[in-house]
Amino acid sequence: MIFSFSTLTSCNTGGATEQTNENAPWIIDRFDDIKVLRYEVPKFETLPLQQKILIYYLSEAALCGRDILFDQNFKYNLAIRRTLEQIYTSYEGDKTAADFVAMEKYLKKIWFANGIHHHYSNDKFRAEFSREWFEQTLDKYVQELPIEKALLCDIIFNPDLYASRLNQTDGVDMVTESACNYYEGVTMKEVEDFYAAMVDPKDPHPISYGLNSKLMKDADGKIVEKVWHLGGMYSDAIQQIVFWLEKARSVAEEPQKSIIDALINYYRTGDLREFDRYNVLWVSDNSSNVDFVNGFIENYGDPMGFKSSWESTVNFVDSAACHRTKIISENAQWFEDNSPINPSFRKKEVKGVSAKVITVAMLGGDCFPATPIGINLPNADWIRKEYGSKSVTIDNITYAYDKAAQGNGFNEEFMLREEDRTRIKEYGKLGDDLHTDLHECLGHGSGQLAPGVTGGELKSYSSTLEEARADLFALYYLGDEKLVELGLIPSLDVAKSQYATYIMNGMMTQLSRIEPGKNVEESHMRNRKLIAEWCYEQGKDAKVIEWVVENGKRYIVVNDFDALRELFGKLLYEVQRIKSEGDYEAGRKLVEDYAVKVDPELHKEVLDRYAQLGIEPYSGFVNPSYELVEKEGEIVDVKINYNYNFVEQMLQYSKEYSFLPTLN
């Protein structure tokens, strides 16, 4: 998955996407370090009726697994959520009193994180209401507690109990020290041994053992798997998922019918071979306009990496945006032949990759409310090798991020010149999208190694240099008249907006994501710093890029866009040479000289200016809802409705899509 940092880096707006309700606010709730946005589903209305109905059924299936994720994250999550919801909806006291307000915030955080631990840091939330108030309120409003009162309160108020959902500290027993509900009564060593005994190292198509089960001990102390399938653990929710998948199957066309069949069969049996068969069918389907993910998919939540959390997305192809990547792909050879690198390092025959751009219609489980902006599946290595993978970017989610960032004061604070801000407003999103397209579809795939070079020579510097190479390819071509000629951009102002943003981010604003006293570690961030700092230094005498101080604040401005483009080309020449020749020493020097060290004074200034803007670092979404329109027993249309209230949607989901017992 690819998660967006857009609110913290470039905050661009604009773009050509047609939207349905531009005037409604994009940010609909904010609490703690979270803001909740809405997203729109442009062009849903124009889909054929059969696809709309398919989306409706798949969306219902996407919502039915919500409780599974709550329970996977922590075994008492449902007990706490349901208890708090009961208080919240029946409370008759003063709703402006500090304790109640604090409990409301705590409940919102639980809804957002699908549990009592932070969705990103994994640390348990701290309750800001008093235990005394809570115990009294419990007595008054909750007749039957799902677990002992003392335990319930200890979980909420004792910071040391179940402190982390996912503890991967070196040297600790990660299984017993993590609060997630994938293991019970077993140690890390027992988990390792259990699965080591199952794996067949000679199997060319290895099964993802452990992916869909909880590992625990039975009454006799024997280690057993409790498998998540129809009739097994989480059966009540899975039954609902299967019900809606069968409905979806009834309106789907081939090859999707067979794909849904395989998935249903997997949910019925829990057989992981069947899950692989489903994935092979799914990844091979490139023709269906509507597509979906539904199942136990990503293993980030398991300290051992065996167990997968439940998630779902429903989406359809954004044909206008795919047109863009298609044009780029079709002209891949022209870009390669004109690349500003040593001709001997150009690929003689280049094949562009056509990444799909999609519009998401529904998000569920681990994709909600915090949402990825891109998905690359399936995860099984052998399937990726033999059948490939599907890579998609979710356009309506990035669009909403950009819209929500509009007016947050970011560009006004960090971008000095009015003309740059205006261009970013107009072309920022298009520039971002094209940068991503060129980077992904062509950049990584371009160039070739010299004879005798294997590609492993650059060692720990390889990923930074590889990202730099793809970024430079994108930046260089963004400023090429060829893009205007191909109809991809209206003018080179798109490049200017991207160049100004890129340099500002690389030299300055991305520092907001680094803790004081630390250097740049992450390879994408290193790559941006490398490119920006190198171009600054190379163009210093001619003032291509310049530091300007106004009212005691520092700004970075690009004075000469043409000269900057030439510098991008020059650096691409060198980075390609380093890769093609495997020149470790030159690569190491580039990275160490330009990409790593942070100026502590500048860093402090950026952090201070960010803090004053009050931009929350994490965001997520509410979903739209869909409604069948029937006439004389026939479905004649599906209507989409937008929700503008996070609390309402959470309470509705807890009421209508809650199928599991409190303890599983």
Binding interface with Zn ion (CB under 5 A): 467, 470
Using DSSP, state whether 576 is helix, strand or coil: helix
Give the residue with the Cβ less far from Zn ion, 282 or 473.
Answer: 473
Q: How far apart are CA 622 and CA 575, in angstroms?
A: 43
Tokens coding 372: 């990825």
The bridge status of strand 223-227 relative to strand 290-298 is unpaired
Closest distance of CB 440 from Zn ion, Å: 7
Closest distance of CB 166 from Zn ion, Å: 26
Give the residue with the Cβ less far from Zn ion, 463 or 652.
Answer: 463
Give the residue with the Cβ less far from Zn ion, 311 or 467.
Answer: 467
Half-sphere exposure for 646 (CA within 13 Å, toward CB): 26
Give the residue with the Cβ less far from Zn ion, 55 or 441.
Answer: 441
Closest distance of CB 305 from Zn ion, Å: 23
> Amino acid identity, residue 540?
K
Tell me phi and psi for residue 87, to 5 degrees.
-65, -45
Give the residue with the Cβ less far from Zn ion, 474 or 511.
Answer: 474
Closest distance of CB 523 from Zn ion, Å: 9
In 120-173, which residue ranges form alpha helices assigned H by DSSP?
Answer: 131-141, 149-157
Q: Which residue number is nearest to Zn ion in terms of Cβ? A: 470
Give the residue with the Cβ less far from Zn ion, 374 or 620.
Answer: 374
Closest distance of CB 177 from Zn ion, Å: 34
Give the residue with the Cβ less far from Zn ion, 2 or 557.
Answer: 2
Give the residue with the Cβ less far from Zn ion, 99 or 467.
Answer: 467
Tell me phi and psi for residue 2, to 5 degrees.
-120, 120
Using DSSP, state whether 275 is helix, strand or coil: helix
Closest distance of CB 324 from Zn ion, Å: 18
Which residues share a beta bridge with 628? Answer: 638
Q: With contact defined as beta carbons under 8 Å apart, do 424 and 497 qualify? A: yes
Q: How far apart are CA 239 and CA 228, in angstroms?
A: 11
For the chain, how many residues are written? Answer: 664
> Amino acid identity, residue 437?
D
Give the residue with the Cβ less far from Zn ion, 77 or 527.
Answer: 527
Task: Let me know the angle formed at the C-alpha of 584 by 535 and 345, rounded to the nearest 5 degrees.
Answer: 70
* H helix count then E strand count, the chain: 25, 15
Closest distance of CB 476 from Zn ion, Å: 15
Q: How far apart are CA 276 and CA 151, in angstroms?
A: 41
Give the residue with the Cβ less far from Zn ion, 470 or 578.
Answer: 470
Residue 231 buriedness (CB in 10 A; 0-12 / 13-18 / 19+): exposed
Closest distance of CB 444 from Zn ion, Å: 6
Q: How far apart are CA 55 and CA 358, in angstroms?
A: 14
Closest distance of CB 333 from Zn ion, Å: 21
Q: How far apart are CA 307 and CA 230, in angstroms?
A: 18
Q: How far apart are CA 39 and CA 1, in angstroms?
A: 19
Using DSSP, state whether 488 is helix, strand or coil: coil
Closest distance of CB 483 from Zn ion, Å: 20
Between the CA of residue 598 and those of 32, 517, 554, what are the distances in Å? 29, 8, 15
Give the residue with the Cβ less far from Zn ion, 34 or 470.
Answer: 470
Closest distance of CB 466 from Zn ion, Å: 7
Spell 43-69 as b/e; 16+ CB within 10 A means b: bbeebeeebbbbbbbbbbbbbbbbbbb
Give the residue with the Cβ less far from Zn ion, 9 or 256.
Answer: 9
Half-sphere exposure for 182 (CA within 13 Å, toward CB): 28
Closest distance of CB 205 from Zn ion, Å: 29
